[in-house]
Amino acid sequence: MTAVPPGSDWPDVVTVQRAPELERELAGRLGLGSFPPVFGVTDLIELRRAYYRRTAPVTPGVEQRRRMDAGRAAHLQILRLLGDPEYREVRVHGDGVVGEIDLLKETPTELKTTREIPEVATLHAVRPGYFEQLAMYCALVGKRSARLIVTTAPGPDAQAVVLACEFASTDRIWAEMRQRSERLRESLARRDPSGLPRCAWRDRGCEYQSAKVCACTGEEPEPSRGLVRELERAVPQEAETAALTEGLRALPSEGPWVASRFRDLLYPRRAYFERTSPEVGPEGAEPAAGSGARQELFRTLRAMLEAGPSGELSRRWAALGEPTEPVGCFRGEPYVIKTSRAWSPALEAGLARDQPQYVREVALRAGSLGGRSGLLIVGYERAASVPEGLRVFRVEFASAPELVGLVTRKCSELRSAIATQRPEELPACPGWMHEACPYRERCGCGTSVAGRT
């Protein structure tokens, strides 16, 4: 069927078709309707933080978000020096653990950026998480050898070190990973983190401590360092270090990008104020009502995709480098996962009209890759079961060049508004965002007509 999404600056024609066969295939991965939670490699490094991420999620403060965005942009700049896109941020999984390897060619490579690089001889002691993460990546791909790259931010004073690492036994690494997974799984089932090891981030800017949602005292037992003990050697690679350092110093200290997330282009006026009014932004614990169920449903939908064979999920990047957020692809097609509290699942006939933001996000992700189609996966919280509330839609637009131009234009408009300090030139956010927006006293969206839906 064909529908017209509202908003004159968006593509005129979009085709939305439900994909019932894919719905049945994904729902079939649920088995009896549930499966154990899938943990990321980073979850298994900091078990307490992983526990609170699931049970008491916290909205990052604006400064923290800004640091995260800047770090992500620097990370992407450096990855471009290291390898072709097909080898970057490769997702691998096994036995309920998912990893995203910064660079995977013959062996896994992990990239870490920091303000100051510690002495190589003490790196395993002062930054054990670096080596734990690398060890788990080795186990996931069945390799004992790997590389660790530690750098400062790009710019004229950049520093770097490249280490060739060797681990003793992937079997012992897997045994430790399974033990950590089980401890976290049991704590989540009991809703009790008391058996988890001490968090390394206590009194070091931990957002859960700042929001007063954690029960940590600092007296918890020391975390296991079994994975670090599997490290047999970490040998500096002088030629690679010198070449990377030279490359980093040739890069600009700040990236040229203005859009770090597709959300920035979807709601550009909100993005404007997030950039220019950092003192106002949201911070603290999210509202408890509904947030836990919504996040649990999102993780379930994500786990459906993760349950497929390796290579089915991939990540790609915008052809022009912006937004810097990678595009998740399922079987080569960009996809968007959403959850909804609507009482009834959407019909394809009204999706573009009733949920234009869903369709627009597919448009942005497809356009950033030079394509014109993608998948929209929606889970409805109020449905009797996950399979009953699962809807998968194929969304296709009339013209790929039009979508590419849309992404370029949206980036240019946001950059221009920030440079001229004229947010009124950007489309207003939709009405449903206004009440909870921390910028509503100054943004003008409540009175603006242009761009409203």
Q: Whole-angstrom Cα distance, residue 273 to residue 445?
A: 12
Q: Give yes or no for residue 221 having a pLDDT over 60.
A: yes
Q: Are 22 and 387 in contact (CB under 8 A)?
A: no
- What's the half-sphere exposure (Cβ side, CA atoms, 13 Å) at 410? 32
Alpha-helical (H) ranges within 56-90 are: 62-82
Q: Which of 191, 196, 168 is nearest to 180 (CA)?
A: 196
Residue 283 pLDDT: 46
Q: Is 251 helix (H, G, I), strand (E, B) or coil?
A: coil
Q: Give yes or no for residue 34 having a pLDDT over 80.
A: no
Q: How does residue 11 score in pLDDT terms, banded at 50, 70 and 90?
A: confident
Q: How does residue 344 score in pLDDT terms, banded at 50, 70 and 90?
A: confident
Residue 13 pLDDT: 83
Q: Whole-angstrom Cα distance, residue 79 to residue 75?
A: 6
Residue 448 pLDDT: 47
Q: How does residue 339 score in pLDDT terms, banded at 50, 70 and 90?
A: very high
Residue 72 pLDDT: 79
Give the model confidence (pLDDT) of 74-89 as tens digits. 888 898 888 887 788 8
Summarize the confidence of residues 153-174 as an average pLDDT: 95
Q: How does residue 423 score in pLDDT terms, banded at 50, 70 and 90?
A: very high
Q: Which helix (H) or strand (E) holds 235?
A: strand 231-236
Give the residue with greater pLDDT, 9 vs 245.
Answer: 245
Give the single-character DSSP code of 322.
-
Q: Give yes or no for residue 333 having a pLDDT over 70.
A: yes
Residue 278 pLDDT: 62
Cα-Cα-Cα-Cα dihedral sign, residues 57, 445, 257, 374: positive
| Residue 212 backbone dihedrals phi, psi, to 5 degrees | 60, 40
Residue 81 pLDDT: 87
Cβ contacts of residue 184 below 8 Å, gap of 6+?
39, 43, 44, 47, 50, 51, 196
Q: Which of 179, 204, 96, 87 is nearest to 140 (CA)?
A: 96
Residue 449 pLDDT: 41
Q: Give yes or no for residue 256 having a pLDDT over 70.
A: no
Summarize the confidence of residues 142-171 as an average pLDDT: 96
Q: Which helix (H) or strand (E) holds 249?
A: helix 238-250
* Domain boundaries defined on the chain: 2-35+260-434, 40-250
Query: Cα 15 from chain centroid?
Result: 28
Q: Are 428 and 434 in contact (CB under 8 A)?
A: no
Residue 287 pLDDT: 38
As its CATH architecture, domain 2-35+260-434 has Alpha-Beta Complex (3.90)
Q: Which of 304, 243, 362 is nearest to 22 (CA)?
A: 304
The answer to whether domain 2-35+260-434 and domain 40-250 are alike in fold is yes
Strand partners, 146: 165
- Kindly state the percentage of the chain with pLDDT values over 90: 51
Q: How does residue 281 score in pLDDT terms, banded at 50, 70 and 90?
A: low
Give the residue with greater pLDDT, 61 vs 76.
Answer: 76
Give the residue with greater pLDDT, 75 vs 252.
Answer: 75
- Kindly state the percentage of the chain with pLDDT values over 70: 90
| Residue 380 backbone dihedrals phi, psi, to 5 degrees | -105, 115
Give the model confidence (pLDDT) of 366-397 as tens digits. 999 999 999 999 999 989 888 899 999 999 99
Instruction: Look at 46-60, 73-87, 127-141, 335-349 and tell me which has the smallest mean pLDDT.
Output: 73-87
Q: Whole-angstrom Cα distance, residue 333 to residue 374?
A: 5
CATH number for domain 40-250, candidates 1.25.40, 3.10.310, 3.30.70, 3.90.320: 3.90.320
Residue 4 pLDDT: 45
Query: Cα 162 from chain centroid?
Result: 26
Q: How does residue 110 score in pLDDT terms, banded at 50, 70 and 90?
A: very high
Q: Give yes or no for residue 99 having a pLDDT over 50.
A: yes
Give the model confidence (pLDDT) of 345-371 as tens digits. 888 888 888 888 999 999 999 999 999
Give the model confidence (pLDDT) of 438-447 as tens digits. 888 888 886 5
Residue 445 pLDDT: 85
Residue 443 pLDDT: 87
Give the model confidence (pLDDT) of 14-23 as tens digits. 899 999 999 9
- Burial state string for 390-428 with b = 16 or more CB within 10 A and e = fewer than 16: bbbbbbbbeeeebbbebbbebbebbeebbeeeebeebbb
Mean model confidence pLDDT for the chain? 86
Q: Which of 419, 373, 262 is nearest to 326 (CA)?
A: 262
Summarize the confidence of residues 285-289 as an average pLDDT: 38
Q: Give yes or no for residue 134 having a pLDDT over 90.
A: yes
Instruction: Look at 48-62, 186-200, 270-284 and tell me which has the smallest mean pLDDT.
Output: 270-284
